[in-house]
Amino acid sequence: MQEADKQEIIKEVISWIKTIVAAVVFAVCITQFVIVNAKVPTGSMMDNIMPNDRIVAFRLSYINSGPKRFDIIVFRFPDDPKQLYVKRVIGLPGEIVTIKAGKVYINDNSTPLDDSFVRTQPYEEDFGPVTIPEDSYFMMGDNRNNSADSRVWLKKYVIKEDILGKVLFRYFPSFRILYNT
């Protein structure tokens, strides 16, 4: 093998290494600063998100504003911040949440929230009233009877700094947009 051929092979190998390193750095930056890629381990969000679904959340969703009611978000679990949870925002900062006969009421309104996205049996136990602290959110799973959420957590609320992103879509086992579910 001639010296020129060896030099070409070395250049090619270096080119491949640069490409691989750049791809890894790009992937790490995207997952650390732009998206959250998560696997949902439980059925607490059924029927909208099923156990073992893979989802993507957008980390930059709440830079200039807070979550809105009914957003599905990924956050650090208040009772164990090492765990990530996926739930739906029900109560906003400063609001009063009351649950009567499976219906959620905000600020003593006589009309319950329209939670038609809940496809499971209604949660029959009463809860509250509770007042949500500033910069905090009251979360519930869509599978109300089988969801460990703000109703049962020791630390009832998710603070804004623990919110990692707004769920945009499920990509496994099939693609489905979730941000307006």
**Catalytic site residues?**
44, 87
Contact 117/69 with Cβ under 8 angstroms? no
Quickly list DSSP for 135-154: TEEEEE-SSGGG--STTT-S
Give strand pairing partners of 39.
Answer: 54
**Which tokens in the block code for residue 119?**
């496809």
Tell me the torsion sign for CA atoms 105, 70, 78, 158: negative
| Element spanning 21, H or E | helix 3-33
**Separation between Cα atoms, residue 17 and residue 6, nearest integer Å:** 17
Rounded-to-integer distance, Cα 44 and Cα 146, Å: 6
- Token representation of residue 153: 């957590």
Q: Pairing between strand 80-91 and 176-177?
A: unpaired
